[in-house]
Amino acid sequence: MTKRDPSMNPEARREPPPRNPSDLRRSNSEDRGRSPEIDDDVTGKELDRESARQLGTLNDSNRTWVAKHLVMAGRLMDLDPQLALEHALAASRRGGRLALVREAVGLVAYEAGDYAEALRELRTYRRISGDQTHLAVMADCLRGLGKPDKAMELAQEPEAQQLTGSARAELAMVVAGVHQDRGDYAAAVRALEVPELDINRAYSFSPRLFGLYADCLEQVGRSEEAQKWHRRVGVAEQALGMGAFEQPEILDFGEEDEASALPQAKDVVADSPAHSARGGHPADRRGN
């Protein structure tokens, strides 16, 4: 039996679809490269039920392709953010009309420090889904792009004023960061005084929120209060099993409450903790 000529494979002869100039996705750029390799053990079935349901509108071939690349994006998020982004972009090539995929690309791009791509994708996700969850990440992207005024405008939109829980806390940290960049530390303190700044409760964002609040208090000369909040960072980390604490010893400081972390595409495609918007300048966190 002779070896089959690859050129006889209909898939090998198929021409790529023509590029649509109005499609501004990076995955649609003329210089896009080949999709990155998928690990042999990845099947695409690692996605949770809701994510799999959302991919159900794709045909079988595209659904499997998109699912596998989303899983790889999550797997590589902390190890190699740039390669994770290439996997997310690969998913977008076949599933770009789905809100879940656009959300995933935006969040992975944010982690990779590609703020322009992240902002574009998350704006699209917001328009498709109507979900306001990622306003903090979008505002942080605007900061990273050197547009603090635009970040503040976004934070003042009516939809932003209606945020609660994790989304409100994350946006407060971004707003405080803008004020810090401008040297207005008193305004940064006020921005962080949201209901989620509760010294008696620990949420996933609490260590960062407490730490940033303590830093801002120090910057306005309220050192004694700052030390109190700095101490609570360690308490919150211990309660959550974060930082130096591998397992949580305290699940909550007070009464039972709903889960603090809002669902994100990153939680779907990755087992790693969510990396949300936070205080400090984005460029400082990316090594730019």
CA distance between the termini of the chain: 56
Q: Per CATH, the architecture of 21-134 is what?
A: Alpha Horseshoe (1.25)
Length of the chain: 288
Q: At what angle do helices 185-192 and 165-181 cross, to 10 degrees?
A: 180
According to CATH, where is 1.25.40.10 located in the chain?
147-263
Is 268 strand, coil or helix? helix
Secondary-structure breakdown of the chain: helix, strand, coil percentages, each rounded to the nearest 5: 60, 0, 40
- Alpha-carbon distance values, 178 to 34, 175, 282 (Å): 38, 5, 11
What is the spatial distance between Cα 167 and Cα 133, in angstroms, rounded to a whole number?
Answer: 6
Q: Which residues have CB under 8 Å from 165's CB, separation 6+?
A: 196, 258, 260, 262
Mean pLDDT of 213-219: 98
Output the CATH code of domain 147-263.
1.25.40.10
Q: What is the pLDDT of residue 245?
A: 74
**Full-model pTM:** 0.77
Dihedral in degrees, nearest 10, Cα atoms 96, 98, 104, 109: 30
φ, ψ for residue 23, nearest 5 deg: -85, 105
Quick one: residue 18, left, alpha or beta (phi over 0 = left, psi -120 to 50 = alpha)?
beta
Lowest mean pLDDT among 6-10, 64-68, 87-91, 136-140: 6-10
- 115 or 284: which carries more pLDDT confidence? 115
Q: What is the pLDDT of residue 3?
A: 40
Residue 136's pLDDT band (boundaries 50, 70, 90)? Answer: very high
pLDDT tens-place string over residues 160-208: 999 999 999 999 999 999 999 999 999 999 999 999 999 999 999 999 9
Residue 42: both structure tokens together: 């990845």
Q: Sort 174 into a burial class: Cβ within 10 Å, 0-12 / 13-18 / 19+.
A: buried
Cα 224-178-76 angle, rounded to 5 deg? 100
What is the spatial distance between Cα 288 and Cα 81, in angstroms, rounded to a whole number?
Answer: 14
Dihedral in degrees, nearest 10, Cα atoms 166, 276, 118, 81: -150
Q: Which residues have CB under 8 Å from 56's CB, separation 6+?
A: 63
φ, ψ for residue 194, nearest 5 deg: -100, 165
Run of H or E including 205:
none
Residue 35's pLDDT band (boundaries 50, 70, 90)? Answer: confident
Q: What is the mean pLDDT of the chain?
A: 82
